[in-house]
């Protein structure tokens, strides 16, 4: 977990880590203790996290997709045969 005010070097590991980080950012901003530079940096990082979280929600937001395990297994078995 990056320190407050530290730039994110990479995308968050998961939705929960992104949300956890976002909450700590909001708490820090709400405390009113962050200086201007830190505030702007936190806002930028926060917006990136919001974008990431929205993308994660969008990924599961297009309606339930139902697959059958036996069909997946059959597809898996066919694939090597086709490749061969």
Partner 1 sequence: MDLPGPFPVGRYARKLEEEMRRRARVSLIGEMTGFSRSRTQAYFELRDSEGAIPCSIWLNELEKLEVPESGLRDGAELVIGGGPDYYRGSAHASPSFSFRATHLRLAGEGDLLARLEALRKQLRSEGLFELQKQLPRPLLPRTIGVVTAESGAARRDLVAGLERRGWGGSVVWGFAPVQDRRAAPAVTAAIQDLAARPEIEAIVVTRGGGSLADLWAFCDETLCRTVAMLRVPVIAAVGHERDSTLIDDVAAVSCSTPTHAAEAAVPLDCNSARAGLQRCAASLSRAGEGAVGSRSRHLVALSRGPARAIQRERVALNQKTREMRAAGERRITEQTDFQRRIAAVVLQRAAGRAAGPEMRSRREGLRRAEVALRAHQPERTLERGYALAESGDGEPVTSAAAAAAAGRVKLRFSDGRVDAEIGGEIERGT
Q: Closest separation between CB of residue 14 and partner 1, Å?
A: 7
Contacts of 28 (CB under 8 A, 6+ apart): 4, 34, 38, 42
Chain positions contacting partner 1, by CB under 8 A: 14-16, 19, 22, 25-26, 29-30, 34, 36, 39-40, 42-43, 46-47, 50, 53-54, 56-57, 59-70, 72-73
Retrieve residue 10's tokens.
């990479």
Which CB atom, from 8 or from 15, has the smaller least distance to partner 1? 15
Q: Are 38 and 25 in contact (CB under 8 A)?
A: no
Shortest gap between Cβ of 48 and partner 1 (angstroms)?
10
């Amino acid at each position: 977990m990056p320190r407050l005010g530290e730039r994110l070097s990479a995308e968050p590991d998961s939705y929960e880590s992104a949300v956890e980080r976002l909450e700590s950012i909001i708490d820090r901003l709400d405390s009113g203790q962050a200086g201007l530079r830190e505030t702007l940096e936190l806002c930028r990082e926060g917006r990136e996290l919001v974008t990431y979280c929205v993308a994660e929600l969008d990924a599961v937001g297009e309606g339930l997709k139902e697959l059958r395990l036996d069909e997946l297994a059959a597809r898996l078995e066919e694939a090597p045969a086709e490749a061969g």
